[in-house]
Amino acid sequence: MLQTVSEWLWWERLWLPANVSWSDLEDSDGRVYAKASQLYAALPCALGLLLVRYLFERFLATPLANVWGVRNSVRLTAEPSPILENYFCSQARAPSQADVRSLCKKTSWPERRVQVWFKRRRNQERPGLRKRFCEARLIHCTWVYPVEKFSPFFGYYFFNVMLLVLQILHLYWAVLISRMVCKVIFSKLEGDDRSDEEENDSDSPEERYHKLSCTNSSGARGRANGH
């Protein structure tokens, strides 16, 4: 069975152009081709990047956060409740009104107390401002050159789509990091574009909806003004 899976995974029609086989990619006549075993080099590179990130957060980002006064806001922790904790972890982070009433019966708590518990518990899951601050972190050769010699094949489309997705993610994070740097330099760092504001214990569902609507509308106006 493993042999069948291996043959299907490395089927030449998936990864190679027509009239080209794996045997054509063996070293010969002074030509040296890339080997699948060379992919193992990605493992130490990935570990090296993780080490660089750890050193950056520990010895550069954290001291800068101290110098610029980036501090986490004080959060009230949710009181211990195995029943609510089990519901939060296994079912939903934001229970419906019917579920809230059901949980009230199980815990013998008033409805308001259960709602406050879930607000505080959700706030505990959100990364703090300091953590978010510390996290701030060649299509031509694959898209154009191959079709000059071979007709497009599955591997050509697959790898180029993956590279395009990766490029989009790079651009997205570059924009977020640039905006964060501008906020740090030119204004006070008050929030993070990646997450909503923390919920207050006194917020009702209607107030949370109003805040979300205001945030979306202000973001749309900001983008319009930017253009």
User: Which pLDDT band, with edges at 50, 70 and 90, does 207 fall under?
Assistant: low
pTM: 0.35
What's the pLDDT tens digit per position in 156-168?
888 888 888 888 8
Q: How far, in Å, CA of 180 to CA of 109, rounded?
A: 42
Domain ranges of the chain: 74-127
For residues 133-168, one letter each, b for 16 or more C-beta atoms within 10 angstroms of the residue's C-beta and e for the rest, the string is: bbbbeeeeeeeeebeeeeeebeebeeeeeeeeeeee
User: Which pLDDT band, with edges at 50, 70 and 90, does 202 fall under?
Assistant: low
Q: State the architecture of 74-127 in CATH terms.
A: Orthogonal Bundle (1.10)
